[in-house]
Amino acid sequence: MSWYSAARAVNEAEETETVFLRFGGEIFEPLPSGGLYWRAENTLLVADLHLEKFSSYARRGQLLPPYDTALTLKRLEADLVRTGAGQVIALGDSFHRDDGTTTLLDGDRLRLATLMDKARWTWLSGNHDPAPHALGGVCPPLLERGGLTLTHEPRRGVAGLVAGHLHPAARLSVNGRSVRRSCFVHDGRLLILPAYGAGTGSLNILGPAFLGLFDWPTLEVTMIGRGRLYPVSTKRLVGG
């Protein structure tokens, strides 16, 4: 089968199938945006928004168009409409720096406020934004819900841990060609979400940052395609 045929088959399957993740006794729906919808709790989980990242760079002399925040908030708005979620839980690094809450453009601040009026908001602290803020919602270091522990940084040995921080991506090899995409990854004990922010990068799950975190034989990987998601075999994953 050619790479084109393989990709077309994947796309056709994606058009007709909804992908679900079964983790910690719960069922989740991963979204093409990188969000994770928890239907039983009517909750949208997102990790690593990194709002105001480009404006933070600009303050240090790297002049980048400050549009990443607007794009990320637009993505959030679409996911809230799509899912009807009554709560949003952001798994840390929601802002690229603590002071990012003060540098929002007026339009972005208004859009965020409008979104927060539509759903209850929980901002878990991350390594980039550990301090609570006054935007609304609550700002705990972690949250326990439905037998799961929601936090920012992943760690091994805690069953039912849902985290972000590492911006996971997978590289898939098919017939000598490869494609690299952000992904959801879990081994039944630890689940790591991809970075949600429009200005974020990613790390290959075969890289050193993930070493020792997962039980490889039970690993499940769900890659984000162009507007779709699909599970992939770990046997087809490559580095890079």
| pLDDT of 63 | 54
Task: Determine the average pLDDT of the residues in 216-229.
Answer: 94
* pLDDT digit string, tens, across residues 145-165: 999 999 999 999 899 999 999
Q: Is the pLDDT of residue 8 over 50?
A: no
Alpha-carbon Rg for the chain in angstroms: 18
| pLDDT of 65 | 55
113 CB contacts (<8 Å, ≥6 apart)? 135, 136
Name the band, by pLDDT with cuts 50, 70 and 90, for residue 177: confident
Instruction: Write the Ramachandran bin of 155: left for phi over 0, alpha for psi from -120 to 50, otherwise beta.
Output: beta
* pLDDT digit string, tens, across residues 65-101: 567 899 999 999 999 999 999 999 999 999 977 677 8
Contact, 35 vs 45, CB < 8 A? Answer: yes
| pLDDT of 53 | 75
Which position has the higher pLDDT, 211 or 176?
A: 211
- Between strands 220-224 and 190-192, the pairing is unpaired
| pLDDT of 15 | 44
* pLDDT digit string, tens, across residues 116-145: 999 999 999 999 888 888 899 999 999 999
The pLDDT mean for the chain works out to 88
Name the band, by pLDDT with cuts 50, 70 and 90, for residue 1: very low
Q: Is the pLDDT of residue 226 over 60?
A: yes
Two tokens at 185?
A: 């990854």
| pLDDT of 187 | 97
